[in-house]
């Protein structure tokens, strides 16, 4: 794969299989592209809550809006330009208020949950 530029307008966001919240994602780079990481965009509508245990190391970069990530240690809230690093094995609850959030994500290794085929 060569150098690639992606924009949110290129990404056809959709719910992940089995995921019922109003959270829409799209992988742009994944296991089909020869590397070790998954890259994509996610849009979280307002008032959503998603609980999961991380199967991979997941880095979210907040592009618009804000979201909160809660663990047994407490809650962090992140806004535009902030980075949230969620290591593999952590149990998190991601919540949105207000305007929801637009994120970019990078996971290592690939996250099978985010198949969009």
- CA separation (Å) from 30 to 16, 34, 45, 106, 112? 14, 8, 24, 10, 9
Interface mask toward a copy of itself for 45-64; x: CB under 8 A? ------------x-x-x-xx
Which residue lies nearer to a copy of itself by CB, 73 or 117?
73
Q: Which of 75, 82, 43 lies closest to 60 in space, CA to CA?
A: 82
* Cα-based torsion angle of the residue sequence 32, 107, 5, 69 in order, rounded to the nearest 10 degrees: 140
Which residue lies nearer to a copy of itself by CB, 25 or 102?
102
Q: Which residues bind a copy of itself (CB under 8 A)?
A: 1-8, 28-29, 34-37, 39, 41, 57, 59, 61, 63-64, 69, 71, 73, 76-78, 80-88, 90, 92, 102, 104, 106, 108
């Amino acid at each position: 794969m060569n150098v690639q530029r992606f924009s949110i307008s290129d990404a056809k966001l959709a719910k992940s299989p089995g995921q019922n919240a109003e959270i829409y994602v799209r992988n742009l780079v994944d296991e089909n592209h020869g590397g070790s990481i998954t890259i994509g965009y996610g849009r979280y509508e307002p008032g959503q809550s998603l609980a999961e245990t991380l199967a991979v190391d997941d880095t979210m970069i907040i592009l618009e809006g804000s979201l909160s990530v809660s663990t047994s240690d407490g809650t962090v809230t992140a806004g535009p330009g902030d980075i949230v690093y969620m290591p593999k094995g952590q149990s998190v609850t991601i919540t949105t208020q207000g305007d929801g959030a637009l994120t970019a994500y990078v996971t290592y290794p690939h996250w099978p949950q985010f198949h969009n085929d």
